[in-house]
Amino acid sequence: MSIEKELRIMHACELGAAGVYRGHKCVARYFFRANLSNLDNMRFHEKDHASIFRNLLKERDARLCFAHQLFFIGGLFYGVIIGLLGLKAIGTSTYTIEEIVNGEFELALIKLESDSSICTKIRAIQLEEQQHRDSGKELAGNNYALFGVVERIAKTGAYTAKYLASSL
Ligand SMILES: [Fe+2]
Ligand SMILES: [Fe+2]
């Protein structure tokens, strides 16, 4: 896979993540105000991650994914639905998705090791994803009855986004 394609997939998935936290934030505004700023902070990080990948693609004169805005919209829908299931669902989803993201960045760092400037950027992004993962875990708690269900939905969502990004 070319570097451009790797970057394109990461850009689309970061847009999806920005949508997800935006969706959570919409629900939190009404039901979980205490968590609003944490969710908004994560949304802000994801927007920033998307623009880092967008700039890297621009520098290379490479295109973005076709219909990349759909990733944001898809993420937004997903984020609202999970949000309506409650704070523990948000936590479980966040933990599950960010754990996948962390693993994907781990693989990307190996594939892109010849490009140290991209790797430096990815490492900085990865640190924020790890913070998101840890705060998701905390929010989910230890005995959430729907953990397995939400985990499965989150995994399906994350891998569907990745698959779509690699085909568009
Ligand atoms: Fe991100
Ligand atoms: Fe994240």
- Mean pLDDT for all residues in the chain: 97
Is the model's pLDDT at 107 over the cut of 90? yes
Give the Å distance between the CA of 137 and the centre of ligand 2.
13
Q: What is the DSSP letter of 143?
A: -
For 133-150, what is the mean pLDDT?
Answer: 97
The ligand that comes nearest to the alpha carbon of residue 48 is: 1
What is the per-residue pLDDT across 72-90, written as a single tens digit (0 to 9) for each?
Answer: 999 999 999 999 999 999 9
Identify the nearest ligand to the CA of 105 by its number.
Answer: 1
Q: How far is the CA of 71 from the centre of ligand 2 (A)?
A: 15
Residue 37 vs residues 22, 106, 117, 129: alpha-carbon distances, Å:
12, 28, 31, 17
% the chain with pLDDT above 90: 99
* CA nearest neighbour of 51 among 66, 34, 68, 37: 68
When pLDDT is averaged across residues 102-121 and rounded to a whole number, the result is 96
**Closest-approaching ligand to the CA atom of 10:** 1
Look at residue 113 and tell me whether its pLDDT is greater than 90. Answer: yes
pLDDT, mean of residues 97-109 = 97
3-state SS, 27-91, equals HHHHHCHHHHHHHHHHHHHHHHHHHHHHHHHHHCCCCCCCCCHHHHHHHHHHHHHHHHHCHHHHH
So where are the chain's domains?
A: 3-167
Distance 98 CA to ligand 2 centre (A): 6
pLDDT band at residue 1 using 50, 70 and 90 as cut-offs? confident
State how far the Cα of 159 lies from the Cα of 53, in Å rounded to an integer. Answer: 19
Task: Tell me, in angstroms, the distance from the centre of ligand 2 to residue 46's CA.
Answer: 6
Distance CA 147, CA 165 (A): 27
The alpha carbon of 155 and the centre of ligand 2 are apart by a number of angstroms equal to 14
Between the CA of 30 and the centroid of ligand 1 the distance, in Å, is: 25
Residues 5-9 have a mean pLDDT of 97
The Å distance, Cα 132 to ligand 1 centre, comes to 9
Rounded to the nearest angstrom, the distance between the alpha carbon of 85 and the centre of ligand 2 is: 20
- CA 52–ligand 2 middle distance (angstroms): 13
Structure confidence at residue 132 (pLDDT)? 98
pLDDT at 71 over 90: yes
pLDDT digits (tens, 9 = 90+) for 15-58: 999 999 999 999 999 999 999 999 999 999 999 999 999 999 99
Mean pLDDT, range 100-113, rounded to an integer? 97
